[in-house]
Amino acid sequence: MTAPEARRAAAIYNSAVATWAIAAAWEVGALDELRGDGKLDARAFAERNGLDLVATIGMFRALASVNIVERQDTTVITSGNFDEVYRYRSFFHWLSRGSGELFRQMPSVLAGAGNYQRDAAAVAFACREIDRLCYAPMFWSVMERLDYDFDVVADLGCGSGGRLVDILARYPGARGIGVDIAPEAIELARRESTAAGMGDRVTFIEADVLNLDDHSLFRDVGLITCFMMGHDFWPRDKCVATLRRLRALFPAARRLLLGDATRTSGVADTDLPVFTLGFELGHDLMGVYLPTIAEWEPVFEESGWTLVGTNRIDMTVGEVIFELR
Ligand SMILES: C[S@@+](CC[C@H](N)C(=O)[O-])C[C@H]1O[C@@H](n2cnc3c(N)ncnc32)[C@H](O)[C@@H]1O
C-alpha cells in the first residue's frame, strides 16, 4: 500500500514521463493506430516499425500509468484519457520534443545563462497540428470573407509550410512564398510541399522576418499570413517598426492575417488548462514578451495597418487572428 501523499507524488512523476511517451507514441504512429482500431499489439507494432520491443512496451506502460491506455502484457487498449490526450497531442509534443532542452536548462536559464537549443523541426511539426486544432477553422472563415483575389501569398515564420500547402490547395492559381529563420523548418517545409505536389508553386526563403531584405518576389504578394510568431516582433517599438517595414516590403499586400497566442490572465494556478503553463513559462524562460490583445491593438494603427477584425479563438493561450488592411 502506498500512502496517499506518495501516490500523488507518483502521479505527478508519471505524468511527466508520460508527456514524453505521448509525443513519441504520436511520432512513431502508435496514437493514430490506437485511434483507428482502439487497440494494438505492442510486439507486432514494434516489429512493423523497426522499434525495440522492450522500450516500446515501456512507452505503452508510461501511457498506461496515466490511464491513456490499458496494457495486458503486449496488448494495448485505449482507455479513459485517450481521446482528450489524442486531441491535444501536439501540445505535449511541443513541450517535450520541441522545447525539452529549454526546460532541461531551467536552473541556468533562471540565472540568465543557459545554452539551450529548441528543436525547430519538432516545433514546426507540433505547430502544424496546433494550427489544425486551434487556428484553422477561424482562419478559413476569415479567408472566405476576403473581398479580393490574390496571385501570391507570403507566410512569415512558415514553419512546416503546412499553411502554404493548404492555401495553394484551395487556390489552384496561386503561388506561395515561405519565410523562416530556422534551416530545419525550411528543410521540412520543402520536403512537405514537394510531397504534397506543390514544390514548383512555392519558394522558401531562409531569413529573419525582423530584418527582412527586399526581394523581387515580394512585389506581387497580395496576402501575408503570419501565425504563431507575432510575439517575436515584440517589444513594442520593434513590433511597430517591423509591421511598418512589412508594408514597404510587400506594397501590393491588401491583407495581413496575424494569428497568435496572447498572454492570459485571471486563471488560478491550479485551474490552468493544457498548454498554457508550458507555453507561458517557456516564453518567460526565453525572455520573449507575450502581449495581451489590448497591447496589440493600438500597435497596428501606429504602424500603418488598419485593424479590420479581432477574431478571438481563446482555446488555451488567448489565441486570436487579427485581420489587418
Ligand atoms: C511556433 S512556429 C509556427 C510555425 C507556423 N507559422 C505554423 O503556423 O505552423 C514559429 C515559427 O517561426 C519561426 N521564426 C521565429 N522567429 C522568426 C524570425 N525572426 N524570422 C523568421 N522566422 C521566425 C520559427 O523558426 C518557427 O518555425
Q: What's the one-letter identity of residue 26?
A: W
Determine the distance separating the centroid of ligand 1 and the alpha carbon of 56, expressed in angstroms.
32
Q: Provide the pLDDT for residue 123.
A: 97
What is residue 116's predicted lDDT score, i.e. its pLDDT?
A: 92
Here the cell at position 138 is 477561424
Ligand 1 centre to CA of 123 (Å) is 9
pLDDT at 297: 97
Nearest alpha-carbon partner for 286 in 127, 111, 109, 95: 109
How far apart CA 161 and CA 258 sit, in angstroms, is 16
**C-alpha cell at position 49:** 516499425
Can you list the residues of the chain whose pLDDT is less than 50?
A: none
pLDDT of residue 254: 98
Ligand 1 site-directed mutation target among 158, 180, 204, most atoms within 8 Å of CB: 180
Q: How far does residue 59's CA lie from ligand 1's centre (Å)? A: 30
- Quick check: CB of 210 below 6 Å from ligand 1? yes
Model pLDDT for residues 169-208, shown as the tens digit of each residue:
999 999 999 999 999 999 999 999 999 999 999 999 999 9
Residues in the chain: 325
Burial 198-236 (b: 16+ CB within 10 A, else e): beebbbbbeeebeebeebeebebbbbbbbbbbbbbbbee
CA distance 215 to 196: 26
Cα–Cα dist 294/65, whole Å: 42
pTM of the predicted model as reported, rounded to 2 decimal places: 0.93
C-alpha cell at 122: 519538432
pLDDT for 1 equals 56
